[in-house]
A and B are shown apart, each in its own frame.
Chain A
Amino acid sequence: MNQKFLFFDNPKQCIYTMVFVIMIIGGINVFSATFVNKASYGFLIRYAVFSCVGLVAMLLAKKIGYRKVLKPGFLMPVFWITMASLVAIQLLGGKISFIPSINGAARWISLGGVSLQPSEFSKLLGVLLCASFLGNRMDKGRKINLLQGPSGRPFILMAIQAGLILKQPDMGTMSIVMALVLCMYILAGVNTKKVFMIPAAALALAVLAVIIAPYRLNRIKTWIDPFSDPLGNGYQMCQSLIAIGSGGLTGMEWGQGVGKFWYLPEAHTDFAFAIFCQENGFLGAVVLILAYSILAMAFIRVCRDVKDSKAFLLSYGITFLVIGQAAANMCMVTGIFPVIGVPLPFISYGGSSMAVTMAAIGLFISIYNEESYANKIDSMTPEERRENIHVYRGGWHS
Chain B
Amino acid sequence: MRGPFTIKDGKKRGGFMLMLIFMMFAIVVLRLVWIQFVRGEELKARLDNQLVSKERRYTPRGRILDRNGDELAVSVICKTLIADPKMMYSERNPNRNCRLEAAEKLAPILKISKEELLKDFSDTERRYLRVVRAMDQDVYKKVDAVINDDKNPLPGFYYEEESKRYYTKKGVAAQVLGFVGDQDKGVYGIEAKFDSILRGAEVRRSMKTDRGGSQIYGDGSEKNDRVDATKLSTIYLTIDSKIQYVLEEAMDEAVASTNARGAAAIIMDPHTGEVLGMVSRPTFDPNDYGEYSQESWVNKAVTMIYEPGSVFKPIVGCMGMKYGILNPDRSFYDAGRIAIDDRVINNWDGEGMGWVPFSDAIKYSINTVMVQLGMELGAKRIIEGSKNFGFGSETGIDLPGEESGILYEAKNMWRPDIATMSIGQGIAVTPIQVLRAICAIANGGELLKPYIVQKIVAPNGDIIREGKKEVVRNAITPEIASQMRKMMEAVVADGGGKRAGIKGYRIAGKTGTAQRLAEGGGYAEGQYIASFVGFVPADKPQYAMLVMVDTPRGAFYGSQVAAPIFRDTLQQVLVAKGIQPSSSEGLRSLDHASSLGTAKKKAVKIPQIVTLPNGKVKIPDFKNLDMRNVQELLQRGHLKLKPYGSGEAYKQNPLPGTEMDENSIVEVWFN
A357 within 8 A of B: no
Main secondary structure of the interface of B (DSSP, over half): helix
How far is A327 from B1 in the complex, measured between Cα atoms in Å? 31
CB contacts (< 8 Å) of B124 on chain A: these are 103
Interface of A is mostly: helix
Q: Is the CB of A108 within 8 A of B94?
A: yes
Asked if A319 lies at the interface with its beta carbon under 8 angstroms from chain B, I say yes
| 10 additional A-B residue pairs with CB within 8 Å, beyond A309-B7, A331-B27 | A39-B92, A110-B94, A187-B17, A189-B9, A241-B43, A244-B43, A245-B36, A245-B46, A261-B209, A336-B28
Would B92 and A141 count as touching, CB distance under 8 A? Answer: no
Task: Knowing A245-B35, A245-B36, A263-B50 are in contact, say whether A303-B11 is a contact too (CB < 8 A).
Answer: yes
Are A313 and B10 also in contact (CB < 8 A) when A189-B5, A245-B42, A263-B210 are?
yes
Q: What residues of A have a CB within 8 angstroms of the CB of B153 in the complex? A: 38
Binding site for B on A (CB under 8 A): 36-39, 42, 97-98, 100, 102-103, 108, 110, 115, 138, 141, 144, 183, 186-189, 191-192, 231, 238, 241-249, 258-259, 261-263, 277, 281-282, 285-286, 289, 292-293, 296, 300, 303-304, 306-307, 309, 312-313, 316, 319-320, 323-324, 327-328, 330-331, 334-336
Give the number of chain B interface residues (Cβ < 8 Å): 50
6 A-B pairs within 8 Å (CB atoms) are namely A245-B43, A289-B29, A300-B18, A319-B14, A320-B17, A336-B27
Q: What residues on B are CB-neighbors of A36 within 8 Å?
A: 210, 216-217
Q: CB distance B36 to A282 under 8 Å?
A: yes
Bound complex: CA of A258 vs CA of B209, how far in Å? 9
Contact bitstring B191-207, A, C-beta under 8 A = 1, else 0: 00000000000000000
Contact B18 A247 (CB under 8 A): no
* Given known A-B contacts A36-B210, A247-B36, A327 and B28 have beta carbons under 8 A apart: yes
> Interface centre among B4, B5, B209, by most A CB within 10 Å?
B5
Kindly state whether residue B40 has any CB partner on chain A within 8 Å: yes
B7 A296 Cβ-Cβ under 8 A = no
Contacts of A39 in B (CB 8 A): 92
Bound-state CA distance A312–B28 (Å) is 28
Bound-state CA distance A196–B153 (Å) is 52
Q: Give the residues in chain B near A187, CB-CB below 8 Å.
A: 10, 13-14, 17
B31 interface neighbour in A103, A192, A335, Cβ under 8 Å: A335
Contact present for A282 and B32 (CB under 8 Å): yes
> Which of chain B's residues 26-73 have a Cβ closer than 8 Å to chain A?
27-29, 31-33, 35-37, 39-40, 42-44, 46-47, 50-51
How many residue pairs, one in A and one in B, have C-beta atoms under 8 Å apart?
A: 156
Bound CA span A98–B36, Å: 43
Judged by a CB distance under 8 angstroms, whether B183 is at the interface is: no
Which 9 pairs, one residue from A and one from B, show the smallest C-beta to C-beta distance? A245-B43, A262-B211, A189-B5, A261-B210, A327-B24, A246-B47, A316-B14, A330-B28, A246-B44
Chain B residue at minimal CB-CB distance from A42: B92
If the complex has contacts A242-B43, A263-B211, A336-B28, are A37 and B216 also in contact, measured as CB distance less than 8 A?
A: no
Most central of A100, A245, A286 by chain B CB within 10 Å: A245
What's the nearest-Cβ distance from chain B to residue A222, in Å?
15
Residues of A within 8 A of B42 (CB): 245
Closest to B208 in A: A258
Q: A286 touching B29 by the CB < 8 A rule?
A: yes
Q: Kindly state whether residue B87 has any CB partner on chain A within 8 Å.
A: yes
Is A241 in contact with B210, judged by CB distance below 8 angstroms? no
B523 within 8 Å of A (CB atoms): no
Query: B212, A249: Cβ atoms under 8 Å?
Result: no
Question: A215 CA to B336 CA in the complex, in Å?
Answer: 86
Find out whether the CB atom of B94 lies under 8 angstroms from the CB atom of A138.
no
Q: Give the distance in Å from the alpha carbon of A319 to the alpha carbon of B21 in the complex.
A: 10
Known contacts A289-B28, A331-B27; decide if A312 and B10 are in contact (CB<8 Å): yes
Across the interface, which residues of B come within 8 angstroms of A335, CB to CB? 31, 35
Quick check: is B670 within 8 A (CB to CB) of the other chain?
A: no
Q: Using Cβ atoms and an 8 Å threshold, which residues of chain A touch B87?
A: 262
- Residues in B with CB closer than 8 Å to A245 are 35-36, 39-40, 42-44, 46-47
